[in-house]
A and B are shown apart, each in its own frame.
Chain A
Amino acid sequence: MAAGTTVESMTSATAEGMAAEEFARVADGHRVRIFRFLLASTRDAEMAETLTQETFLKAHRNWSRFRGESSAMTWLMRIAINLQKDHWRNRRLQFWRQTQSNAVDVNEASDWLPSNQASQEQALLAREQVGHVWRAVEGLSERQRTVFLLRFVEEMELSEIAATTGLSEGTVKAHLSRALARVRAELRGKR
């Protein structure tokens, strides 16, 4: 009986160790992507960092419940989106915190450009375009923005976006369509 208990506890410890290892591997593989999505959604590096930490803390707590029905990325992204929603909801209620936001403005966000443009004119044009897209993104609803960023920054498939956001594929398409229309209008408006 005692031997059985020892074996059971050893098996359980081994399983826990394996689960922890697996979680660490998954977290390492997806941390940057989750952070990037949260950074693009909030334009606030500190907030993105905090929300990323919260996402992985929550995921760690619930890791045993993750059945692998969806991909780990979809599961983690869903947690991140929900935390982000909760955060904005709380922030709206605590109106005096609005002033403490560290979000950078659209122009500052457009500063980051890879230096693979052939000429200075091209770099300037690229920066302008990025600025217009940011302005359009700023005007989107929370859901449209999420769908847009998942599609065009994270390059997720429509089915993945639907699984992540809990929306139907049709709704995802509709949101993307509206978001693109806005980006288009913003790009045309520059002329």
Chain B
Amino acid sequence: MSSELQNGEEMQLEPELSQALGHFKASVHGWSNEVWSNEVWSRTMESRSRAVRPARRRVWRLAVACSLALLMAVGAASGLLYERRQQQVLATMQHEQLLQQQQQMTQQRQQAEEDLLAKVESDISREVPSAMEPLAQLMTTGGTETASANQ
């Protein structure tokens, strides 16, 4: 059936195809006419309602602007609050660190003093007997000599 397109200008289509194409054409024409008349009608309505639109648009714009301004204000306020809170936390942490350092330094100092004292004590306890030893010997030898002299 497609050969009629290659060989001649006239198209001989089988009845069913011809009928389907006819219905298709009628359908598209009907659809187009309906949409077209609706478009024309809606355009007329649109031009009538055009005067009302700007006022509505203005109200919408105002509402959107107010909402945005409110959002921005809330955002800025919460940003400031957050910043302040962060600073407070930081200051507390720094203060705690300082206290810890001071404590550590005090402990270290105490430890050093204790160490020194212990060293002095050990030095004294070790030095005295050795220093006293010649004296003790002397005393021992002196005592013996005196006893023998007395004898």
Say yes or no: B32 contacts A39, CB within 8 Å: yes
Q: Given the known A-B contacts A112-B34, A180-B1, A183-B20, are A39 and B6 also in contact in the complex, defined by CB atoms under 8 Å? A: no
Complex interface: stretch among B23-31, B57-65, B140-148: B23-31
Partner of A180, one of B5, B31, B36: B5
- Asked if A45 is at the interface (CB within 8 A of a chain B CB), the reply is yes
- Asked if A134 is at the interface (CB within 8 A of a chain B CB), the reply is yes
Instruction: For the complex, give the distance between the alpha carbons of A5 and B19 in Å.
Output: 63
Q: Given the known A-B contacts A35-B32, A173-B6, are A184 and B27 also in contact in the complex, defined by CB atoms under 8 Å? A: no
Say yes or no: A129 contacts B30, CB within 8 Å: no
Partner of B30, one of A113, A132, A176: A113
Instruction: For the complex, give the distance between the alpha carbons of A39 and B19 in Å.
Output: 22
Q: Which residue of B lies closest to A35 (CB)?
A: B36
Which residues, 1 to 42 on B, are CB-close (under 8 Å) to A? 1-2, 5-6, 9, 13, 16-17, 19-21, 23-36, 39
Say yes or no: B23 contacts A113, CB within 8 Å: yes
Instruction: For the complex, give the distance between the alpha carbons of A184 and B9 in Å.
Output: 20
- Asked if A24 is at the interface (CB within 8 A of a chain B CB), the reply is no
Say yes or no: B20 contacts A32, CB within 8 Å: no
Say yes or no: A181 contacts B2, CB within 8 Å: yes
Q: Given the known A-B contacts A35-B32, A133-B21, are A180 and B27 also in contact in the complex, defined by CB atoms under 8 Å? A: no
In the complex, besides A35-B32, A48-B35, A184-B1, 8 extra interface pairs with C-beta distance below 8 angstroms are A32-B33, A39-B31, A45-B39, A112-B27, A114-B30, A126-B23, A174-B6, A180-B1
* A residues in contact (CB < 8 Å) with B: 32, 35-36, 39-40, 45, 48-49, 109-114, 126, 129-130, 132-134, 149, 152-153, 155, 158, 173-174, 176-177, 180-181, 183-184, 187
